[in-house]
């Protein structure tokens, strides 16, 4: 296994030394994925020869490795594009100085998976609802429609402002509803930054392996409760990205 021990290595993630992560897909640059073990931990790595990586392609390779490894083990994902100066550096700079923190994270996450639940509005439907439910919006809309575009300039802005506020209110309510229904079945939850303009909410949950079925049923009930107003996207299991954030820097300024 200690092939190319001196070459640089690309790092995908860290798992417990007692876990087996079988990875058959090729890694970055199609290199074979292997582990570097130390202090009861194992780093998932592949040797790297190039000085430059084609990011668009390799981000996919990176994800494929983590996705596959996560099927059989709890893997702490490492930030995309992380390269260390050889197997020894993996032991000395990553595993050794952070052994306690990594083991603690792995302990907390063991047997648990991340499941993401995203809600998306159908924009037209949402807007109809907003106009129907808010007399202020409806009145302003009628006024704006009856005058020319220039004359109604400030009314238009005001209208847009009101609509945006109404949408924000919907988002808040729907996120709260989803959390109320799902959080009791999860170990913990994390509210993610909504990534699309029509997003109702983006939530990440850490769920015990044995609770996944119960959680999925709750997602099904939430889907019915939200009806056609909100389209749910339910994906996973993912490596515990939202629950394994840690800065393993020795000095805080080192990354800038």
Partner 1 sequence: MAALARSGGGYLERPASSGLADVIDVILDKGLVIDAYVRVSLIGIEILTIDARIVIASVDTYLRFAEAVNRLDLQQADDSQGLPELMESMTEGGAKSKSKGALEGVKDAVTGGGDDDDDDDKQKSSSSRRRSSSSGSSSSRSRSRKSS
DSSP summary character for residue 54: -
Residues that bind partner 1 (CB under 8 A): 8, 11, 13-14, 30, 48, 50-60, 62-63, 67, 76-85, 89, 93-94, 115-116, 118, 190-191, 193, 195, 212-213, 216-217, 219-220, 223, 233-238, 241-251, 254-256
- What are 68's two structure tokens? 């596959």
Q: How many CA atoms are closer than 13 Å to the CA of 248, on its beta-carbon side? A: 23
Packing angle between helix 123-133 and helix 153-182, nearest 10 degrees?
Answer: 110
Cα three-residue angle 200-201-203, rounded to 5 degrees = 160
For the bound state, the minimum distance from the C-beta of residue 57 to partner 1, rounded and expressed in Å, comes to 5
For the bound state, the minimum distance from the C-beta of residue 148 to partner 1, rounded and expressed in Å, comes to 35
Q: Which residue in the block uniquely carries the two structure tokens 């394994």?
A: 244
Handedness of CA 43, 46, 47, 51 (dihedral sign): negative
CB of 179 or CB of 241, closer to partner 1: 241
**DSSP string for 155-221:** HHHHHHHHHHHHHHHHHHHHHHHHHHHHGGGSSEEEEPPP-STTEEEEEEEEEEGGGHHHHHHHHHH
Residue 239 CA to residue 56 CA, distance in Å, equals 20
CB of 60 or CB of 125, closer to partner 1: 60
Residue 217 CA to residue 160 CA, distance in Å, equals 38
CB of 1 or CB of 250, closer to partner 1: 250
For the bound state, the minimum distance from the C-beta of residue 13 to partner 1, rounded and expressed in Å, comes to 8
CB of 123 or CB of 247, closer to partner 1: 247
Residue 115 CA to residue 102 CA, distance in Å, equals 21
CB of 93 or CB of 198, closer to partner 1: 93
For the bound state, the minimum distance from the C-beta of residue 124 to partner 1, rounded and expressed in Å, comes to 22
CB of 142 or CB of 245, closer to partner 1: 245
For the bound state, the minimum distance from the C-beta of residue 21 to partner 1, rounded and expressed in Å, comes to 16
For the bound state, the minimum distance from the C-beta of residue 190 to partner 1, rounded and expressed in Å, comes to 5
CB of 67 or CB of 129, closer to partner 1: 67
**φ, ψ (nearest 5 deg) of residue 203:** -125, 140
For the bound state, the minimum distance from the C-beta of residue 248 to partner 1, rounded and expressed in Å, comes to 5
């Amino acid at each position: 296994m200690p092939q190319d021990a001196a070459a640089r290595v690309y790092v995908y993630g860290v798992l417990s030394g007692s876990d087996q992560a079988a990875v058959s897909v090729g890694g970055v640059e199609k290199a074979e994925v292997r582990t570097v073990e130390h202090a009861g931990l194992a780093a998932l790595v592949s040797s790297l020869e190039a000085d430059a990586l084609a990011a668009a392609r390799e981000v996919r390779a990176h994800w494929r490795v983590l996705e596959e490894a996560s099927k059989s083990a709890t893997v702490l994902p490492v930030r995309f594009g992380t390269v260390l100066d050889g197997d020894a550096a993996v032991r000395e700079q990553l595993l050794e100085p952070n052994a306690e923190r990594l083991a603690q994270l792995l302990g907390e996450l063991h047997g648990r998976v991340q499941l993401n639940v995203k809600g998306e509005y159908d924009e037209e439907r949402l807007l109809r609802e907003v106009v129907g439910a808010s007399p202020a919006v409806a009145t302003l809309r009628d006024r704006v429609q009856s005058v020319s575009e220039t004359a109604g300039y400030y009314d238009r802005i005001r209208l847009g402002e009101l609509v945006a506020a109404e949408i924000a209110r919907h988002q808040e309510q729907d996120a709260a509803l989803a959390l109320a229904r799902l959080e009791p079945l999860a170990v913990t939850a994390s509210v993610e930054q909504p990534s699309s303009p029509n997003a109702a909410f983006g939530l990440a949950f850490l769920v015990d392996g044995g609770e996944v079925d119960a959680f999925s049923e709750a997602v099904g009930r939430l889907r019915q409760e939200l009806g056609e107003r909100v389209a749910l996207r339910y994906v996973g299991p993912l490596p515990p990205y939202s629950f394994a954030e840690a800065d393993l820097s020795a000095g805080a300024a080192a990354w800038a």
